[in-house]
Amino acid sequence: MKVAIIGAGAVGGLLTARLSATEAEVTLVARSNAAAAIRQNGLTMLTPQNRLVRLTPRVTDDSLSLGPQDVVILCVKAHALRGTVDSVAPLLGPDTAIVPMVNGVPWWYPHRQPEPLADRPLTSVDPDGLLWRSIDPDRVVGATTFVAVEGDGPCRVRHVNDQRFVFGDIANRDRPAVDAIVSLFGQAGFQAARADDIREAIWVKLWGNLAFNPLSVLTGATLGRLCGDPGSRGVGRAMMLEAKAVAEALGVRFATSVDDRIANAAAVGDFKTSMLQDYEGGRRLELDAILGAVIELAERARVEVPLLRAILALVDLRARERPS
C-alpha cells in the first residue's frame, strides 16, 4: 500500500512515525523548508511512555514525484486545506482514498445529505466551493482522532495521550478502502475502528473541540483544568448541548453522552489544546471549522445557539487583539 501524508505538523509527524513502521510505503509531503529540515535531522517522536523514537522517513516537497497513491491523508489545519489542492491532484489514481484528518466540520459534510444540507457547500469552511470542486467527495474516507499530540517544529513530535482513530465512508457505502485503512492503523499500534456513522463520530469529537479549545484561548487553562473547574466545565457542557441539538436536527443520533465526552477529555489531563498552542504560537486559529461551521449548520437547521455565537465573538476578538 502506498500512503502519502500531507502536512508535517503534530498529527502528520505522528502518523509518519507510526505508519512508517508498517509494511506500507509511506511518504510525508511537506513544505520545502520542513522537508529540508526532516531530511537533515530526521524525525523524533516522544511516546506517552517517554521513549524517544528517531527515524528518517521518506519526505518530499514535490508530490508530482510520487505518482498515484492508494491513500492520501490530509494532516493540515482546516483553513489550510485549500492550499493542498495542487499537491493532492498528482497523487490520485482511479481508486485513491482521501482521508482528511482535520478538526471541526469537514467541507464534505453536506455530501449526499437531505435538506437543509442537500450537497450545498459550507461557506464557513469552503467559501467559494474550491474544495468541493477539486476533491471528489466520493473519494473521501471520513476520519476523526482523539489523540493528544504536540509539535515542536517540523522534526519533533510529542505524543501525549490516547491512540484512537475512527474511519467511515461518508455515504455509508461498504468500501474496502475503509477496512484497509483501519487495518493499516491497527498494524501501527493505534486503536482503529470503523464507524457505522462517521458523522456521529465527528460530532462527538467536535463537542470537545468547540467547547474546550475556545475556552482554553480565553482562559489560558489546560484541558484538565477546564474540565475540573465547575464553572468552565459548566460553560463547556452548555456549548456541547447546543451543538448536540444542531446535530440531532440534522438527523444524527448519538450513542454517547455529553457527560461521557467531558470525562474522556478530563482523562487527557493537563494538555494544552491545539487552539491554545496555535494562539500562543501566533498562528491562525481554526475558528471557522470548529465554531463557524456549527453556527452555519445551526442556521440551516433553524436551531438557536446563542452561547456558541457569544464564545466565537470573544475568541475572535482575543485573536485579533493578540500581541504581535
- How do residues 112-145 score in pLDDT, each as one tens digit? 999 999 999 999 999 999 999 999 999 999 999 9
Q: Note the Cα 284 to chain centre separation in Å.
A: 15
Of 162 and 93, more confident: 93
pLDDT for 148: 87
Residue 162 has pLDDT above 90, yes or no: no
Give the tens place of pLDDT for each residue, 10-34: 999 999 999 999 999 999 999 999 9
Q: Where do the H-state alpha helices sit in 75-174?
A: 85-88, 130-134
Please count the structural domains in the chain: 2
CATH classification of the domain holding 242: 1.10.1040.10
- Whole-angstrom CA distances from 17 to 9, 29, 69 are 12, 13, 18
User: Could you report the per-residue pLDDT of 187-201, keeping only the tens digit for each?
Assistant: 999 999 999 999 999
Residue 161: predicted pLDDT: 86
pTM: 0.95
Residue 266: helix, strand or coil by DSSP? helix
Domain boundary (179, 196, 213) is at 196
Same domain, 205 and 312: yes
Given a contact cutoff of 8 angstroms between Cβ atoms, the answer to whether 225 and 216 are in contact is no
pLDDT beyond 80 at 154: no
Q: How confident is the model at residue 153 (pLDDT cuts 50, 70, 90)?
A: low
Domain CATH code at residue 124? 3.40.50.720
* 80 φ/ψ angles, rounded to the nearest 5 degrees: -95, 0
* Structure confidence by residue, pLDDT tens digits, 101-114: 999 999 999 999 99
- Residues facing residue 149 across a β-bridge: 159
Residues 255 and 172 in one domain: no
Location of C-alpha cell 482523539: 146
Do 60 and 150 fall into the same domain?
Answer: yes
What percent of the chain shows pLDDT beyond 70? 99
In this structure, what are the phi and psi dihedrals at residue 234, rounded to the nearest 5 degrees?
A: -65, -40
For residues 190 and 264, membership in a common domain is answered with no
CB 54 within 8 A of CB 44: yes
CA dihedral over 116, 118, 122, 123, signed as positive or negative: negative
Average pLDDT over residues 196-225: 97
Residue percentage of the chain with pLDDT more than 90: 93
Q: What is the pLDDT of residues 251-285, one digit of tens each?
A: 999 999 999 999 999 998 899 999 999 999 999 99
User: Domain check: are 154 and 140 in the same one?
Assistant: yes
Co-location of 186 and 212 in the same domain: no
Q: Which of 132, 167, 196 is the last residue of a domain?
A: 196
Q: Do residues 117 and 173 share a domain?
A: yes
What are the tens digits of pLDDT across the range 295-324? Answer: 999 999 999 999 999 999 999 999 999 987
pLDDT at 152: 74
206 shares its domain with 75: no
Domain range enclosing 284: 200-320
Q: Which residues are catalytic?
A: 205
At 260, the amino acid letter reads D
**179 and 303 share a domain?**
no
196, 227, 256 - which closes a domain = 196
- Residues 129 and 277 both lie in one domain: no
Average pLDDT rounded to a whole number, residues 170-192 = 96
Does 89 share its domain with 125?
yes
pLDDT of residue 80: 95
- C-beta neighbour count of 156 within 10 angstroms: 17
Q: Same domain, yes or no, for 192 and 204?
A: no
Element of type H or E holding 43: strand 43-46
- Read off the DSSP letter of residue 285: P
